[in-house]
Amino acid sequence: MLAPHSHNEADLLLRVAEGDQKAFAALFHAYHHRLGIYLYQLTSSRTFAEENIQDIFCKVWEKRAQLPEVQNFQHWLFTVSKNHALNVLRKMVRERTEQLNWEKQQLNLSPDAELTTEDRLQLIHKAISQLPPQQKKVFILSRYQRLKYVEIAKELNLSRETVKSYLQIATSSIRKYVNTHLPLFIFLFSRFFY
């Protein structure tokens, strides 16, 4: 769908600012495809683009009071989108870095313990096996098969938010399990293998 003409667009933006949901739907239909292309160009990820279009339009709705003053809606929308995408990407990098640091920490235990990587991984696998079935599936699909939230949600017939929540809970449970069982594991290892 083509973008509304400038005089029609100004009227549309005014109606959206007043809370007109039909006008908002028209605005969405006029711009969602171009926004998806723009997000794809920014990130080279179709999944990222698809997952974030709705979030960005939610931001547009939240900021609708500003719309009557917007002279060039597409420019404004793409600026909001770029800022949103950068924030999401920063968060993803931060979460991934934290995950890698945690995994590294679990694999680089005290040198006194002299556990092999295999022993450390065995403890982590044991922690994963203790998870409830759905959390375990989500964790494995995310961390081992490297599927995106939306792909996991589709495969398991869950919402993207549920997948995200399960992954956070699973990671926390694994961390807690490892931290709780690590002293015992080191004790048993040192007692029976030295």
- Please compute the mean of the pLDDT values over residues 111-121 and round it to a whole number: 59
Q: Where in the chain are all domains bearing CATH 1.10.10.10?
A: 117-181
- What would the pLDDT profile of 54-90 be if each residue is shown by its tens digit? 889 999 999 999 999 999 999 999 999 999 888 888 8
Give the Cα-Cα-Cα angle 102, 103, 104 (nearest 5 degrees).
90
Q: How far is CA 43 from its chain centroid?
A: 14
Percent of the chain with pLDDT over 70: 80
- What would the pLDDT profile of 7-62 be if each residue is shown by its tens digit? 588 899 999 999 999 999 999 999 999 999 998 888 888 888 888 898 899 999 99
pLDDT at 119: 67
For the cut 60, the answer to whether the pLDDT of residue 110 exceeds it is no
Q: What is the CATH number of domain 117-181?
A: 1.10.10.10
DSSP state of 142: I
pLDDT at 147: 86
Q: Which long-range contacts (CB under 8 A, 24 or more apart) does 5-13 make?
A: 9/73, 10/68, 13/67, 13/68, 13/70, 13/73
Architecture of domain 6-104: Orthogonal Bundle (1.10)
Give the range among 47-51, 148-152, 178-182 with minimum mean pLDDT.
Answer: 178-182
Residues 6+ apart with CB under 8 A from 17: 64, 65, 66, 67, 68
pLDDT at 102: 73
At residue 92 the predicted structure's pLDDT band, cuts being 50, 70 and 90, is confident
**19, 5 Cβ separation under 8 angstroms:** no
pLDDT at 106: 59
Q: Where in the chain are all domains bearing CATH 1.10.1740.10?
A: 6-104
What's the rounded Cα separation, in Å, for the pair 153 and 49? 16
